[in-house]
Amino acid sequence: MIDGPIFANTILSPNAGYALLITFGILWIALGIWWGRQAKSYDGFAVAGRNVGLALGTATAVATWITSNTTMLAPQFALQLGVWGALTYSTASFGLFAFAPMSGRIRQLMPHGYTAVEFVRRRYGQLGAIPFLVISLFYAMTWLISMAMAGGKLLNVLSGIPYEVGMSAVLGVCVLYTLFGGMYAVIGTDFIQSLIILVGLVVVAIAVLLHVDIADVHTQLQTERPMLLSVLFPAALMAVFNNMLFGFGEIFHSNVWWSRAFAMREGVGPKAYALGGLLWLPVPIVAGFLGLAAPALGIGISQPDIAGPLVAATLLGTGGALFVFVIVFCSLASSIDSLLAATSDLMVNDIFERAAGSDLNDTTKRKLSVLSILILGLIAWAIAWANIGTLATVLFFAGPMVGSCIWPIVGGLYFGRPSPWAAGAAMVAGSSLGLVAYFAIGWFVASLIGATVSGIVFALLTWLIPDRFDFKQLSQQNRTPDRDRRAAEEGFEC
């Protein structure tokens, strides 16, 4: 952890940074209030009336997946792992491609659903639901914390605004407009944010290429840091597969993506996620080049996760710093709001309503959503304040946990044989051994080991303790615990 400003000489003045922060903060809050007028019921607040079309569906997938991790972690990977690092983060697009057909299956099986945990509970009972809920909440908090940290670091490196102030402001703005509009506000602002991000990245990429000779970058790297160009760099090769499985686990298990599957009109999800993956694929490669160029250009990097914004801002001056600020601010907002909305759905439907023992009315659920968003924002703010670790170490701590969810989700969606024992044991075993690998070896293998162990356990117990699940149960409306339990018992008897 570094005390004080990351850099003494920043590209923008603190006054310019505050002006940009206030301008965009007011803009997103105003848009959230405006779009939020449509959220007249809990269904509207949580899943946007289940009527999101292809354009908005694609835009929200792109904007949510272009996080600060894309614009800041991709350069960090390139800086630390070289050419493979620049390509590593792009493998996360495979998760969007794979989730495209799954989103259609989810919408078909659970037309009235709200959360991924609800699916796991109905499919596997409490044996699967408890570890899955813990993993989902833990992952959501690590992602949320990493986004808040990125906001503070961005403002600090570009304009000298204290980390704590920038982090608090970015998180506060997202909490406010999500409170007002729920999923309507999230998807509406995502549409604008995705356009700004994509156009901004194209402009920055062209400007950087005009300032940098790729041949010179290659020559200097070959002379000074040849390992970054090696295709046999062991840590980099492991990171490629680790990140790919992490991406699968992130998307397959996270309610951020399930809530969008429920929100999209029937038949829209597969197209929206496939198009989103295509649009997202080149983004981390472009961002990763900035990190690869940093050592060749002689730019000193005190923290690897701010390499991308620093290189772009240094090369392009004030104009570049402005573009970088806008791009990363939009990528932060589009992810933080999605996390707040989707995770509040988990808290309302899978914690509060379950604890109540009966279906809650619309007004109560809406109030609980507001409370949940405030609680999530406060927890993320309190933990992010310490600014401990890099974005990679914070986010990938959840890697083995989300990796362990891949097989229970895929198996549970398409096959009736996987049992609650197989799902629960796979998640617990994969998470446990993956976390051991995280501390004993490193973050770049934790997801890989977690997913592998989970897959072996899941396959073995599916063979030893098979089930015969009736998928028709999933199409029924939300039910109380007693009715859920009765349906689960009937399912086991099928």
pLDDT for position 459: 96
Whether 458 is in a domain gets the answer no
Residue 363's CATH number:
1.10.4160.10
pLDDT at 143: 83
Once rounded to an integer, what is the mean pLDDT over residues 67-78?
Answer: 71
Least confident of 12-16, 19-23, 199-203, 290-294: 290-294
Whether 94 maps to a domain, the answer reads yes
Confidence at residue 69, expressed as pLDDT on a 0 to 100 scale: 64
User: Given a cut of 60, is residue 343 above it in pLDDT?
Assistant: yes
Does 324 score more than 70 pLDDT? yes
User: Angle at the Cα of 212 (from 207 to 217), degrees rounded to 5?
Assistant: 145
Residue at 483 is within a domain? no
What pLDDT, on the 0 to 100 scale, is given for residue 406? 95
| Number of domains comprising the chain | 1
What span, in angstroms and rounded, lies between the C-alpha atoms of 238 and 444?
6
Q: Residue 66: give the domain boundaries.
A: 14-388
More confident residue, 35 or 372: 372
Given a cut of 60, whether residue 485 has pLDDT beyond it is: no
The answer to whether the beta carbons of residues 224 and 295 sit under 8 Å apart is yes
pLDDT-based confidence at residue 160 (cuts at 50, 70, 90):
confident
Give me the pLDDT at residue 192, please: 85
Q: Is it the case that residue 452 has pLDDT exceeding 80?
A: yes
DSSP per residue, 131-200: HHHHHHHHHHHHHHHHHHHHHHHHHHHHH---HHHHHHHHHHHHHHHHHHHHHHHHHHHHHHHHHHHHHH
Of 491 and 358, the one with more pLDDT: 358
> Among 36-40, 223-227, 389-393, which stretch is predicted with the lowest mean pLDDT?
389-393
CA angle 172, 174, 180 (to 5 degrees): 105
Q: Is pLDDT at 301 greater than 90 in this prediction?
A: no
Backbone angles phi, psi at 61, to 5 degrees: -65, -45
Instruction: Tell me: pLDDT of 86 over 80.
Output: no
Give the pLDDT confidence score for residue 8 in this predicted structure.
41
Mean pLDDT of the region 471-486: 59
Mean pLDDT of 24-44: 84
Q: Is the pLDDT of residue 32 over 60?
A: yes
445/385 Cα distance (integer angstroms): 28
Percent of the chain with pLDDT over 70: 84
pLDDT for 151: 82
| Least confident piece of the model among 39-48, 200-209, 327-336, 443-452 | 200-209
Identify the band that residue 257 occupies on the pLDDT scale cut at 50, 70 and 90: very high
CA distance 449 to 445: 6
pLDDT at 101: 94
244-277: buried (b, 16+ CB within 10 Å) or exposed (e) per residue? Answer: bbbbbbbbbbbbbbbbbbbbbeeebbbbbbbbbb
Concatenating the DSSP letter of every residue in 36-55 gives: HTT--SHHHHHHGGG-B-HH
For residue 448, what pLDDT is reported? 87
pLDDT band at 129, cuts 50/70/90? very high
pLDDT at 152: 86
Do the Cβ atoms of 343 and 140 come closer than 8 Å? Answer: yes
Across all residues in the chain, what is the average pLDDT?
Answer: 82
Give me the half-sphere count of Cα atoms (radius 13 Å) on the Cβ side of residue 111.
7
410 pLDDT higher than 90: yes
Identify the band that residue 116 occupies on the pLDDT scale cut at 50, 70 and 90: very high
Tens-place pLDDT, residues 423-442: 999 999 999 999 999 888 87
pLDDT score of 130 more than 80: yes
Residue 411 lies in a domain: no
* Measured torsion, CA atoms of residues 427, 430, 436, 438, in degrees rounded to the nearest 10: -100
52 strand-pairing partners? 264
Residue 42 falls inside a structural domain: yes
Tell me the average pLDDT across 393-404. Answer: 80
User: Where is pLDDT greater, at 84 or 136?
Assistant: 136
Which pLDDT score is estimated for 386?
A: 81
pTM for this model (two decimals): 0.83
| Contact partners, residue 25, CB within 8 Å, separation at least 6 | 169, 173
Question: Per the domain annotation, does 416 fall within a domain?
Answer: no
Averaged pLDDT, 399-422: 94
Averaged pLDDT for residues 446-472: 93
Do the domain assignments include residue 197?
yes
Q: Residues 94-107: what's their mean pLDDT?
A: 93
Average pLDDT over residues 258-266: 91
Return the pLDDT at 66. 77
Check: CB of residue 135 under 8 Å from CB of residue 427: yes
Mention every residue, 6+ apart, whose C-beta is less than 8 A from residue 337: 174, 177, 178, 185, 186, 189, 190
Predicted pLDDT of residue 462? 96
314: in domain: yes
